[in-house]
Chains A and B, each alone.
Chain A
Amino acid sequence: MAKVLMKGTVAIAEAAVRAGCRFFAGYPITPQNEIPEYLSWRLPEVGGAFVQGESEVASINMVYGAAANGTRAMTSSSSPGISLMTEGLSYLSGTKLPALVVNISRGGPGLGTIQPAQTDYLQATKAMGHGGFRVMVFAPSTLQEAVDLTYECFDYAERDRNPVLLLMDGSLGAIMEQVEFPPMKELTDEGTRKWNLAKHEGETRMPRMLTPVYPEVILENENKQRALLTKQWEENDVRVEEFMMEDAEYVVVAYGISARVSKEAILNLREQGHKVGLIRPITLFPFPKKTFQNLNYDQVKAFIDIELAIPAQMRDDIEVAVRGRAPVYEYGRSGGMLFDDESVYDAIHKIVTGGAE
């Protein structure tokens, strides 16, 4: 298929359809409304179902129901709406059900602003709801990457029987860029056949039950399995991009839109002879700890965490990975304010030339 110019939100929606998503329920909120708008006509075209729920709580619970049936299901929202869905997310994880949740994030806290921000990192990576479950969190930085990751997210969700979060800020949601779509996936219930509740014609098995309620002993065992799963993610599923890292003395750490702006600034800093590189986590959880472990700390002088968040939220993960071997600085904008190539350049330049406190 040829490259087409498409908006970030719409590109995600089409990629989900191609990945086999056949159910969407959601409630409107800027800046992600093009996802439900697109799916409202696109899903019926491919035999799927679209529901505009009466609320975020209703929507995530409809996704819960569809997932129990073995249907590839998703919802999307933006920051305050995602908060409303956290109970449902916990139930999905508690019941071991797959689903894709897309957060096109905006400035917070509270109702905040409709403008872009990256202030949901902590929520996404540490506690997407009560009860101590974790989800894989993917953070694309180009629209092609958003398409490719969305396409894969459903597979991860089914493999792990756990919801997956795609986290992308509102600016990438609003940008148009060229994308190329993968082919339509063949629909099959292979990934869910062993547990889904759908009973096909001619099937003679006993009815099944799925539940988020367990006796203590079993629940503890379930949680041990979840801990094991998290370990496996860290072993096998980390995705990270290293940019100009070979001789880097100063390491920018940034994801999503911030990584793109940082790359531009880094190229300009390199022209001035400053040895700056970038670590871009693509999976925010599992966080690419090993990349930090493998660095040469005789060479690396400092880290600079650049985010659309004040205070920076990824910093805790960087600090844990760096373990005090080099100082960590941060630069960000917040509340829907954006930085650009020049302000990021200035922030890094200040640290590189020793001007930072």
Chain B
Amino acid sequence: MKESLLLSGSGGQGIISGGFMLAESAVESDKHATFLPEYGPEQRGGSAQCTVTISDTEILSPLVKKCSSLIAMNEQAYKKFYTNLKAGGLMIINANRVTSEVTRKDVKVLSIPCDDIAVEIGNPKIAIIIMIGALLGASGILSKEAFLSSIEQKFAEKKPEVMEMNAIALQKGIDIGKQSL
């Protein structure tokens, strides 16, 4: 098993921390993982992206042309990366912000209004957690418990409500991902 995940959106949407937590949960699940943030002047323009590769065996190239799953949190990210997804891959897009019509027929598409759901749960910041939940639900790449423990580490010093809200968001995403199977 080897999966390369491309997370993309804009600064503040939790792209980098979401990707980091995915890689961290993979390592804690005894898998191999690499996390490659996109860095450079472009980052200051507001876009954020990272590539996370998760594998049962040693990861050779962390630089991959095509990813097996793509999370696009806004229109700009969708337009920039929809061609980077392998045929048969999983595309998870933020239905609240991606306005283009999805033209690719050779990939599985999950369009989730994660901003709306996040506000319903109580905080717009947790939209990315819903998307990661959907990824876990649809791909089974990591267990819910592994990712939850990574969230716990990140928010250890915050109020318990924060952790609770993240757990609800993750479960909501997992349910959406599983329903799509």
A184 CB–B CB distance under 8 Å: no
Return chain B residues, CB-CB under 8 Å to A114.
39-41
Complex contacts, B65 vs chain A, CB 8 Å: 340-343
**Is A115 a contact partner of B34 (Cβ separation < 8 A)?**
no
5 extra A-B contacts, CB within 8 A, seeds A177-B33, A178-B27, A264-B60: A176-B36, A263-B60, A264-B61, A265-B61, A342-B65
B35 pairs with A260, CB closer than 8 A: no
Bound-state Cα–Cα, A339 to B64, Å: 9
Q: Check: B97 CB closer than 8 A to any chain A CB.
A: no
Within 8 A of B (CB), among A259-306: 260-261, 263-265, 267
A177 near B34 (CB under 8 angstroms)? Answer: yes
Could you say which interface size class chain A belongs to?
A: 20 to 34
Q: Which residue of B lies closest to A259 (CB)?
A: B60
A181 to chain B, nearest CB (A): 14
The 6 A-B pairs with the shortest beta carbon distances in the complex, nearest first, are A264-B61, A176-B35, A342-B65, A340-B65, A261-B61, A264-B60
Which chain B residues in 21-79 approach chain A with CB under 8 Å?
A: 23-24, 27, 32-37, 39-41, 58-66
Residue contact B63 to A339, C-beta cutoff 8 Å: yes
CB-CB nearest in chain A for B38: A174
Kindly report which residue of chain B lies nearest to residue A177, judged by CB atoms.
Answer: B34
Partner of B24, one of A5, A264, A343: A5
| A residues near B39, Cβ cutoff 8 Å | 31, 114, 174
Binding site for A on B (CB under 8 A): 20, 23-24, 27, 32-37, 39-41, 58-66
A160-198 interface code vs B (CB 8 A; 1 in, 0 out): 000000000001001111100000000000000000000
Chain B residues lying within 8 Å of A177, measured Cβ to Cβ, are: 32-35, 59, 62
Determine whether the beta carbon of A174 is less than 8 Å from that of B23.
Answer: no
**Is A257 part of the binding interface, using a Cβ–Cβ cutoff of 8 Å?**
yes
Picked from B33, B40, B64, B66, the residue with its CB within 8 Å of the CB of A178 is B33
Task: List the B residue with the shortest CB-CB distance to A113.
Answer: B40
Picked from A4, A5, A341, the residue with its CB within 8 Å of the CB of B35 is A5
A339 to B63: give the CA distance in the assembly, Å: 8
B63 x A341 contact (CB < 8 A):
yes
Closest CB-CB distance, B161 to chain A, in whole Å?
27
Kindly provide the distance from the CB of B17 to the nearest chain A CB, expressed in whole angstroms. Answer: 12
A264–B63 Cα distance when bound, in Å, is: 10
Partner of B63 from the list A5, A178, A257 (CB cut-off 8 Å) is: A257
Query: What are 18 A-B contacts defined by CB distance under 8 Å?
Result: A114-B41, A174-B36, A175-B36, A176-B20, A176-B34, A176-B35, A177-B32, A178-B32, A178-B33, A260-B60, A260-B62, A260-B63, A263-B60, A264-B64, A267-B60, A340-B63, A341-B64, A342-B65
Q: Which residue of B lies closest to A31 (CB)?
A: B39
Chain A neighbourhood of B35, CB < 8 A: 5, 175-177
Q: Decide if A58 is an interface residue (CB 8 Å cutoff).
A: no
Residue A205 CB within 8 A of the other chain: no
Question: A264-B60, A340-B64, A343-B65 in contact; A3/B27 too (CB < 8 A)?
Answer: yes
A178 to B53, CA, bound (A): 12
Bound complex: CA of A142 vs CA of B61, how far in Å?
A: 10
Would you call A338 an interface residue if the criterion is a C-beta within 8 Å of the partner chain's C-beta atoms?
yes
A153 CB, nearest partner CB in chain B, Å: 23
